[in-house]
């Protein structure tokens, strides 16, 4: 069967899943989910009720990084998985402390007891370390680390783009800009209508 990808266009987790699926060349049936009105078939498939969710013949994968690795272990023409072990450590930090700080900066009203400025400073510390590492990628060429982290840096950047652009991170700024203006980013950001059961399939990539 063709794997089914439940996705939401603007979700950074779903973005990175689509990036890896596109790089691998594995065709999926893409089902665009509206988070405020989740389709029953999606809720039946996804243990967590969150996107992305990949329904493959052998299993359901409910975590975006696991979807990336699933796709790339099947076909990795650009060698994204061939990276130093520290790349996995950076992804874990981006998914953990950085995303924690990002959420408390972007959605400050959800966390009224916390200081968004302090969380922005914590996120900035991680981004400054990335800036020091990037030349012009995190390693000597694009890897899983770049494409697993970039959607979240994008999300953070647009919380306050004027502030972000003023930070002394030239390598990080250039890295993000290359991503945002790339054909690869454009290809994963096509708009799809909300999926409903019975709709004709839409295939990605």
pLDDT at 72: 98
List Cβ<8 Å contacts ≥24 apart for 36-42.
37/194, 39/195, 39/196, 39/197, 40/197, 41/197, 42/6
Residue 126: exposure state from Cβ atoms within 10 A (0-12, 13-18, ≥19):
buried
Residue range 14-50, pLDDT digits in tens: 999 999 999 999 999 999 999 999 999 999 999 899 9
Structural domains for the chain: 4-78+189-204 (3.40.30.10), 85-185 (1.20.1050.10)
Over residues 164-185, mean pLDDT: 98
Q: Write out pLDDT tens, residues 124-173.
A: 999 999 999 999 999 999 999 999 999 999 999 999 999 999 999 999 99
Q: What is the pLDDT of residue 109?
A: 96
Give the confidence band of 11 by pLDDT, cuts at 50, 70, 90: very high
- How high does pLDDT run on average in the chain? 97
Distances (CA, A) of 91 to 42, 52, 88, 151, 185: 27, 17, 5, 12, 19
pLDDT at 193: 94
* Residue given tokens 């402390």 in the structure block: 97
* Model pLDDT, residue 13: 98
Neighbouring residues of 58: CB distance < 8 A, sequence distance ≥ 6: none
Q: Taking residues 85-110, what's their average pLDDT?
A: 98
**DSSP track, 91-144:** HHHIIIIIHHHHHHHHTGGG-TTS-HHHHHHHHHHHHHHHHHH-SSSSSSS--H
What is the number of alpha carbons within 13 Å of residue 76 lying toward its C-beta? Answer: 15
- What is the distance in angstroms between the CA of the first residue and the CA of the last residue of the chain? 16
């Amino acid at each position: 069967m063709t794997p089914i990808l439940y996705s939401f266009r603007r979700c950074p987790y779903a973005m990175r899943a689509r990036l890896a699926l596109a790089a691998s060349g594995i065709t999926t049936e893409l089902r665009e989910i509206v988070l405020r009105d989740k389709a029953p078939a999606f809720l039946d498939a996804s243990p967590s009720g969150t996107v992305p969710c990949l329904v493959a013949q052998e299993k359901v994968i409910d975590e975006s990084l696991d979807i990336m690795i699933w796709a790339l272990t099947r076909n990795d023409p650009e060698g994204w998985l061939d990276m130093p072990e520290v790349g996995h450590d950076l992804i874990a930090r981006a998914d953990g402390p950085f995303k924690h700080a990002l959420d408390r900066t972007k959605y400050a009203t959800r966390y009224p007891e916390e200081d968004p400025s302090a969380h922005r400073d914590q996120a900035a510390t991680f981004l400054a370390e990335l800036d020091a590492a990037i030349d012009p990628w995190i390693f000597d060429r694009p890897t899983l680390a770049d494409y697993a982290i970039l959607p979240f840096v994008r999300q953070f950047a647009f919380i306050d783009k004027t502030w972000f652009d003023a930070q002394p991170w030239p390598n990080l700024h250039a890295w993000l800009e290359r991503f945002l203006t790339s054909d690869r980013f454009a290809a994963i950001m096509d708009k799809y209508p909300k999926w409903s059961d019975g709709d004709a399939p839409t295939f990605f990539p």
